[in-house]
Each structure stands twice: as C-alpha cells, then as structure tokens.
Structure 1
Amino acid sequence: MAPRARLVLDRAEVIVGYSSYIQLLDQGLVHGKEVISTGMTKEVQRCRAALDLACQGRRTAVVCSGDSGIYALAGLILELMEERNLAESMDLQIVPGIPALAAAASSLGAPLMHDFASISLSDLLTPWEVIDKRVRAAAEADFVIILYNPRSKTRTWQLEAIRCLLLKVRNGDTPVGVVKNASKDDERVVFTTLEGLDTESVDMKCTVIIGNSQTRRIGHWLLTPRGYAAKYDLTKQSGG
C-alpha cells in the first residue's frame, strides 16, 4: 500500500469497498470506523453510498485494489459526481496506488522498459469485438501486452483465443510472465512462452505480461530493452 493511501484511510470516518479488499486492509485502519462493503458487480451501489456519505460531510474513503484510476473506481466516482452536478463542489482526492502491471513487472524483471499496452479481457463492460480489435492492433504494433482480468470462472475461453490470435503474429517462443497475487505474501510467478502458456492455470488474480519481439530472458528475469545497447557501448568499462 502506498503511504499516502494509508494516511487517507487512517483519517477516514467511513471506509467503502469490495468485501475482499476490505479484508486485506490492516485492521488497525478499520477499527472504530463505519465500514460499508458489498460483493462483486455492486460497484455502482458502493460508489453511490460513498457519495451520499460524503455529501453528509463525512470523510469517506473508497478502497480499490492496485490503483484507483486503472480499471478501478475513480472513473465511476467522477461519472456519478457529474450526474449529480458535484464536480465543482465536492472535495475529491484521487490517491495513487501501486497498479498490478507495475507490481507484476517488478517480480518479472524489466519487461515494461519500452512501450506497452494494457488491455482488460473482461467483456462485462466492453464488447468482445472491441477487445479483440485492440489486442490485434497492439500485437501488430509490437507493443508489450499486459492482460488484466485474463480468465474467470465464467469467462473461460477468451485468454486462449487471445493466445491463438497472438501466435499468428508473434513467435511461439515469445517470453510470457504470469504473476498471481502480485506483491502479496502468496505471490506466485511463472515464466513461460506464448506457445507454452497454460491458459487454464490462469485466473482473475493473475496479471499476464506478453513480451514483444525484443523481449528476452536473462537468467531468472525478463527484459524488454529500452535501446541503450544500440546507442552506447555497454561493454566499455567505466573509468578505463
């Protein structure tokens, strides 16, 4: 958790969030405060409740996983504020967090050193045709590709469809990293290839990073070069 996020939660009077995320919090941050939690697909309900409480003058914090502005609830809060004409009057702070793409990349090495595209495979809010089009464009442009929400209990075919799509434009030995529960105590890291990716072992707690044409394995790490070797002599010893 980013230090500023901890400070905001410590000062909050009410904490609102998805029940699983609330359970991950240090209980010292929750003790003595009103907590409003709901299950999956209740995002609108949670955000409306948070705005209602904030309009009553109560310091209210909405908890997200990763970063609140990346596939999370900062955007929905802004949409609801716009709907209620609160954009100019409400004191809103959007607190930066540690996104899964950054946490996962740090466990894999340096796979995001060059341009990348982050794409969610969840078609609950975005039509699959749009997702498919974006993956194709990212693949053809040789972006490193980060896949969020890769596979759930009900969405079982999408990740395999994307793997097959990518194999048409990328080599089968393209490095792939899968990180489950990034930065948590039970984190699990898997290094594989596009050909060898076991899509059935991936779930919603995983972040999948697929390398571009330059990504390579260095020991126990993945590297997507930034381009220093093409501009500088990296073999030259300093002070020589």
Structure 2
Amino acid sequence: MISSGDAGIYGMAGLILELVTKQKLGVEVKLIAGVTASTAAASLLGAPLMHDFCHISLSDLLTPWPVIEQRVIAAAQADFVICFYNPRSRGRAEHLARAFDLMRTYTAASTPVGVVKAAGRKKQEKWLTTFGEMDFENVDMTSLVIVGNKTTYCQDGLMITPRGYVL
C-alpha cells in the first residue's frame, strides 16, 4: 500500500495496521517514513515549525465537527503553530473560515500565515499573508495552511518561528 506524504500522518498506515491486527492476518507490515505535507510546506515557507506545533484536519468525514472545533480552540489557546490539513473542499468550503473565527480571540490579526498548494508538484504555489488578511478562496484540498504563534514573524519572504535561543 502506498500513500502520498507520510503513511502514518493522515495516510493509510493506521487503517492497514488495524486490519492486520484486528483480523489476525499474520501479515508483516513495514512502514517507511515519507515527507508529510506539513514538513514539505514548512521547508518552502522558511522555518515555521521550529517550536511546538500541531496538525489539525478540518475534514469532518471521520471526526465530528464539534470535536474539530474543540481542538482548534485548544490549539489556539495553547499558542501552537497550527498546520491545517484538508482546509477546504467543495463540500467543506467554509471550514477554514470557521476555524479562523474560532481562533480570533487568541490569535492577533498580524500573526503570519503561510499557504502552500500542491507542495512538491509541478503546479506548486506558496504565499504568505497574515491572520487578519487571510483570503480563503485560493485554498483547496491540495493546500496546507500554517498559522504561526505569537513569536512567528516574516522576514525577507520567510516565515520563521524562533525556537527560543538568544541571539
């Protein structure tokens, strides 16, 4: 079984391991690490994941929307850099905007946001904006949205989250 990105991060590894273990199939499964969308996108944007961060999928196909809302609020309250997977689709066009609305109390309008669309593919795009200026229209299911934390900044076209070292 081959997954895009990393099979263990929103990929098929969990499903395969569940099937093999629950059905006691006795099949050897070997997982090979891949490059997940968040690290691929981060490398194109600069270094936004240098401190604590989390992944949140905005797809409510397998997770109820109220659970996703709780996770978004908790991550924003905790000041995590947040990587949003599955940010918008035809059936979920408003989920990213709703997530931003939930975060608004805890996230400054000036907080950097990076978007990478089709990371590593021929039609790859990337752009930097701010939380307050975010335009959701160009974001789709091939996009990864990274919202910085209180220390994240942009300099020379790069999104940077300091680790905390004193320079």
Does the alignment reach a TM-score above 0.5?
yes
- Alignment partner of 1:207 out of 129, 133, 144: 144
RMSD: 0.8
1:162 equivalenced with 2:96 (yes/no): no
Provide structure 1 residue ranges, at least 5 long, that are not aligned to the other structure.
Answer: 1-61, 235-240
1:65 equivalenced with 2:4 (yes/no): yes
Residue 82 of structure 1 deviates from its aligned partner by 2.0
What is the CA–CA distance in structure 1 between the aligned matches of 2:93 and 2:59, rounded to whole Å? Answer: 11
What is the CA–CA distance in structure 2 between the aligned matches of 1:212 and 1:84, rounded to whole Å? Answer: 43
Larger RCO, structure (CA 8 Å, separation 6 or more): 2
Match of 1:197 in 2: 134
Bigger proportion of residues as helix: 1
Structure number with bigger Rg: 1
Q: How many residues align?
A: 167
| TM-score of the two chains, using structure 2 as the length reference | 0.97
Q: Are the counterparts in 1 of residues 17 and 29 from structure 2 also a CA contact under 8 Å?
A: no
- 4+ residue stretches of structure 1 with deviation over 4 A? none
Q: How does 1:98-109 map to 2 (within 5 A)?
A: 98-109=35-46
Q: Deviations over 1:8-28 (max 9, x none)?
A: xxxxxxxxxxxxxxxxxxxxx
What is the CA–CA distance in structure 1 between the aligned matches of 2:93 and 2:8, rounded to whole Å? Answer: 26
Match of 2:120 in 1: 183
Residue 78 of structure 1 deviates from its aligned partner by 0.9
| TM-score of the two chains, using structure 1 as the length reference | 0.68
Identity, in percent, stands at: 51
1:146 equivalenced with 2:83 (yes/no): yes
Match of 1:116 in 2: 53
Match of 1:76 in 2: 15
What is the CA–CA distance in structure 1 between the aligned matches of 2:147 and 2:164, rounded to whole Å? Answer: 19
What is the CA–CA distance in structure 1 between the aligned matches of 2:103 and 2:126, rounded to whole Å? Answer: 22
What is the CA–CA distance in structure 1 between the aligned matches of 2:93 and 2:124, rounded to whole Å? Answer: 22
Residue 128 of structure 1 deviates from its aligned partner by 0.5
Provide structure 2 residue ranges, at least 5 long, that are not aligned to the other structure.
Answer: none
Residue 79 of structure 1 deviates from its aligned partner by 1.0
Match of 1:90 in 2: 27
SS at match of 1:192: strand
Amino acid at match of 1:83: K
